[in-house]
């Protein structure tokens, strides 16, 4: 069946979905595990179906975009070659070396919340932390902090609206930002800063230097992916803990529990809503017949709340086995930046806990869900003590 003729099973843009996306995804997953919509085509919700997609890149291709997407939009063997270049940038040694700088960023932002009373956490901590940490990791100047925040907001709005002219203009805008950074380093020659961006300019794949388009795509992927998901994750962690003062107290008393708490809270509500795939051949999935060339959308949080895999999936269990948690994906496209993300989230949450005695939702609720394709919260008002 032509996808355009397929009757929709749900509407991701509906007001009901936008008001409570996690609840809405859970409901669709129960009645229609592989569901069709005009916006997303085939949505995959169950853990087993998601794993099938992740572990079969020959059938479910990542080459979903008309534009260069390195390496996320590639399949083997090209994907394999680029991953070999990228993975060392997130080595334990590099992440450990960056941790003190990350602590400094988080501590300054967290200490600024002391005595503030009511705060809007996304704009006062979560997003600034994500932007400053990412720029510091890549060696980018502080002058880019505000433009990157603005660019991210515009990109999310254009993606929701499916405004292709706006998305094209935003791609050009980001290309211009990166080209300015690269040109500065080219002109500096041997005096260029010894940072991640300069190092990336020296890389080769299959014996050939990375092209400017390759470098721009890699940096766009790292920037958009890292800033958006880290900011969303920090907001999700803070919002959940605002309603669980007992866990806050437990984490303040036992900081070694923070990493496990982060994994479990973000299993309940993930910072990345979806990823896309495209079928290379006809396939049956979840009882649905999907044609070659159809688009699939993986819903990460729904898979992570699947009761077939996670006992009492709606409950927080600090000692839960996280081996099936898809927070960072699985298979050949598992997130290469997971070590960096885990460190940044641990540092951010530890800084918030250390700078406060407690926080709770501000009067009136305080949490406004982010609009798809973003996850987490667009606004999060907290009372901080």
Spell out the residues 6+ positions from residue 372 whose beta carbon is closer than 8 angstroms to its own: 12, 13, 17, 18, 21, 160, 273, 274
**Three-state secondary structure string covering 53-105:** HHCCCCCEECCCCCCCCCCCCCCCCHHHHHHHHHHHHHCHHHHHHHHHHHHHH
Residue 218, pLDDT score: 92
Contact 128, 140 (CB under 8 A): no
Strands 41-44 and 295-299: parallel
Residue 151 lies in a domain: yes
> In this structure, is residue 355 part of a structural domain?
yes
Residue-wise pLDDT for 75-113, tens only, equals: 999 999 999 999 999 999 999 999 999 999 999 999 999
Greatest C-alpha distance within the chain: 60
The confidence score (pLDDT) of residue 4 equals: 56
Q: Kind of pairing, strands 377-384 and 117-120?
A: antiparallel
| 30 to 34, 268, 306, 316: CA distances (angstroms) | 10, 16, 9, 21
Distance CA 48, CA 52 (A): 6
Q: Nearest to residue 117, comparing CAs of 358, 349, 369? A: 358
Q: Domain range holding 135? A: 29-384
Placement of tokens 């069946």 in the chain: 1
For residue 8, being part of any structural domain is answered with no
Asked whether residue 328 is assigned to any structural domain, the reply reads: yes
Structurally, the chain folds into a number of domains equal to 1
Q: 228 in a domain, yes or no?
A: yes
Question: Could you read off the pLDDT tens digit of each residue along the chain, which spans 385 residues?
Answer: 566 578 999 999 898 898 888 999 999 999 999 999 999 999 999 999 999 999 999 999 999 987 778 999 999 999 999 999 999 999 999 999 999 999 999 999 999 999 889 999 999 999 999 999 999 999 999 999 999 988 888 887 887 777 889 988 988 898 899 999 999 999 999 999 999 999 999 999 999 999 988 999 999 888 877 899 999 999 999 999 999 999 999 999 999 999 999 999 999 999 999 999 999 999 999 999 999 999 999 999 999 999 999 999 999 999 999 999 999 999 999 999 999 999 999 999 999 999 999 999 998 778 999 888 889 999 999 999 9
Distance between start and end Cα atoms, the chain: 58
pLDDT computed for residue 3 by the predictor: 65
pLDDT at 1: 54
How far is it, in rounded angstroms, from Cα 185 to Cα 178? 11
DSSP assignment, residue 236?
H
Please report whether residue 14 resides in a domain: no
Alpha helices in the chain (DSSP H): 15-19, 21-31, 47-54, 78-86, 92-111, 121, 127-138, 145-161, 164-188, 196-200, 212-242, 245-253, 258-268, 300-304, 338-355
Residue at 230 is within a domain = yes
User: Can you give the CATH number for the domain in which 174 is found?
Assistant: 1.10.630.10
Q: What is the pLDDT of residues 203-218, one digit of tens each?
A: 999 999 999 889 999 9
Distances, alpha carbon 307 to alpha carbons 26, 117, 224, 315, in Å:
11, 39, 31, 11
Q: Is 354 helix (H, G, I), strand (E, B) or coil?
A: helix
Instruction: Report the alpha-carbon distance of residue 241 to residue 245 in Å, rounded.
Output: 6
Q: What is the DSSP secondary structure assignment for residue 4, as one 8-state letter?
A: G
* Residue 166 included in any domain: yes
Q: Which residues does residue 267 pair with via DSSP β-bridges, in sequence order? A: none
Contact by Cβ (8 Å): 130, 235: no
């Amino acid at each position: 069946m032509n996808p355009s003729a397929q009757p929709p099973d749900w509407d991701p843009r509906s007001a009901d979905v936008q008001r409570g996306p996690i609840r809405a995804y859970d409901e669709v997953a129960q009645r229609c595990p592989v569901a069709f919509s005009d916006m997303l085509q085939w949505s995959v919700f169950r853990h087993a179906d998601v794993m099938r997609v992740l572990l079969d890149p020959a059938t479910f291709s990542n080459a979903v975009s008309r534009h260069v997407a390195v390496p996320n939009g590639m399949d083997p063997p090209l994907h394999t070659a680029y991953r070999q270049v990228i993975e060392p940038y997130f080595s334990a040694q590099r992440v450990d070396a960056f941790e003190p700088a990350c602590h400094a960023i988080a501590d300054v932002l967290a200490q600024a919340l002391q005595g503030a009373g009511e705060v809007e956490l996304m704009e006062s901590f979560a997003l600034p932390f994500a932007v400053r940490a990412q720029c510091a990791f890549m060696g980018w100047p502080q002058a880019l902090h505000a433009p990157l925040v603005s660019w991210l907001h515009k990109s999310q709005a254009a993606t929701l609206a499916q405004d292709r002219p706006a998305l094209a203009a935003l791609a050009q805008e980001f290309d211009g930002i990166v080209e300015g950074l690269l040109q500065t380093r080219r002109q500096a020659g041997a005096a260029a800063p010894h940072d991640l961006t300069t190092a990336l300019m020296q890389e080769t794949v299959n014996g050939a230097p990375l092209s400017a388009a390759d470098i721009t795509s890699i940096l766009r992927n790292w920037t958009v992916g890292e800033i958006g998901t880290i900011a969303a994750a920090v907001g999700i962690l803070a919002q959940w803990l605002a309603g669980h003062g007992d866990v806050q107290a437990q984490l303040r008393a036992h900081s070694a529990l923070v990493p496990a708490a982060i994994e479990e809270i973000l299993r309940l509500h993930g910072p990345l809503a979806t990823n896309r795939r495209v079928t290379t051949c006809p396939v049956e999935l979840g009882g649905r017949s999907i044609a070659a060339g159809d688009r699939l959308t993986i819903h990460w949080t729904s898979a992570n709340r699947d009761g077939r895999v996670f006992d009492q999936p709606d409950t927080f269990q600090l000692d839960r086995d996280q081996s099936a948690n898809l927070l960072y994906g699985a298979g050949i496209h598992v997130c290469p930046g997971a070590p960096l993300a885990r460190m940044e989230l641990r540092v951010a949450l530890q800084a918030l806990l250390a700078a406060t005695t407690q926080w709770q939702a501000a009067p009136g609720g305080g949490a406004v869900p982010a609009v798809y394709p973003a996850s987490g919260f667009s606004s999060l008002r907290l009372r901080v003590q």
